Amino acid sequence: MLVTPFLSLRSLLFQAAVLAAGPLVAVTLAGAARAEEPPAFVPLAQPVAEGQIALWIDQLGSAQFAQREAATRSLTETGGAAIEPLAVAITSGDLEIASRAIEIVRQLLASDDPEVASQAEKFLETVAEGPNQPVSQLAESTLDFHLRGMMQAAREKLQSLGASFLVGFLPSGQQGVVVVLGTDWRGKSEDLRLLASVPGIVQLNLHGVRLDDTEVAILGRMRGMERLELYGTGVTDAAVAKLIQKLPGTRIDLRKGGKLGVAGQPMIGPCLITHVQPGSAAAKAGLQEGDVVVAINGEAVDNFESLTTKVGKHGPDEIVQVEFERLQPAGKAERKTEQIKLDGW
């Protein structure tokens, strides 16, 4: 059986540096790698005892090159059963063992068994979040390299699960892909990982999609985004704090999920309502196009962005007091106040 020879630690770290250098270099490297794609590994027909797996892992750090190579092949052939022990061994601080463990798991990503491939991907994600920078960088570059080859299949799978892909411009003038996951989203946690495989995403909107801390951590791999909208996701403050650290260049718009159902000009004051969504909380309360919102719960509203920020502090079914002005036929503005029960995203 053929198994790809183990790459040296120097070449793996070089690959990590090249992938970090930019998309153009990474695409070139990805193209070169596809020409030398390793054959799918063949797992051993019989289960391997835990003691034997532990011995092979110990031999990954052997002073003898042949023994290290043999142990690498054996663990690759072992398949999914080797992943958990390797996850423990990688914390030992031995860079040789860590780099070989990552190479073994890289080959397991090509497994025909979806469960093994998923375990391998989660292994790399966990290591990429670890404190050992050389090892975490190597794991992250290995995972990114793998994901680049999956980009088209990932987009098609996400669309089949209810994701919408749009091409749009952000206030900065940047053009790119805007992905929206709303109430039609039918995906699971593992499906969110596919987002990192799609290039060019500048904005990701999650509206009404409930997220746990693990799923929020997955979003932390979406580097390069300019904007992330989390509306009615139920995310915890601790998870958001970690997300902010992972995405320092991304503007994160977090709202608890309350929805008024109006549209306006984001950066222009005053807060002029340009559209009222039919059947929304605003429509039921009698708000109309042309109304100017001046306050929410007694707090002044200067523009539409201020309105969305204040409404976003409230959840579905909460009641807010909306003060607004409506121009009368005689040309005089009449001030009105309504108690509005918010919808949810």
Residue with tokens 């503007």: 251
- Split at pLDDT 50, 70, 90, the class of 43 is low
* Distance (Å, whole) CA 195 – CA 211: 15
Three-state DSSP class for residue 244 = helix
Express each pLDDT in 178-225 by its tens digit.
999 998 999 998 899 889 888 889 999 999 999 998 899 899 988 889
Answer yes or no: same fold for 152-255 and 258-344: no
If you average pLDDT over residues 231-237, what whole number do you get?
89
Least confident stretch, 22-26, 43-47, 137-141: 22-26
- pLDDT exceeds 90 at position 153: no
* Cross-strand pairs, 90: none
Nearest to 101 by CA among 130, 28, 216, 113: 130
Mean of pLDDT values over 309-317: 90
- The per-residue pLDDT for 171 is 67
* Higher pLDDT pick, 109 / 174: 109
Domain map (residue ranges) of the chain: 9-149, 152-255, 258-344
Question: 265 CB contacts (<8 Å, ≥6 apart)?
Answer: 272, 274, 303, 304
Indicate whether 75 pLDDT > 70: yes
Instruction: Tell me which CATH homologous superfamily contains domain 258-344.
Output: PDZ domain (2.30.42.10)
Q: What is the pTM for the complete model shown?
A: 0.53
Alpha helices in the chain (DSSP H): 9-21, 23-35, 50-59, 65-78, 83-89, 95-108, 114-128, 133-148, 151-160, 189-192, 213-219, 237-246, 281-285, 304-311
Q: Top-level CATH class of 152-255? A: alpha beta
270-294: per-residue pLDDT in tens? 999 999 999 999 999 999 999 999 9
Using the predicted structure, report yes or no on whether residue 340 has a pLDDT greater than 70.
yes
158 pLDDT exceeds 90?
A: yes
What is the per-residue pLDDT for 264? 92
Alpha-carbon gap, residue 132 to 335, rounded angstroms: 60
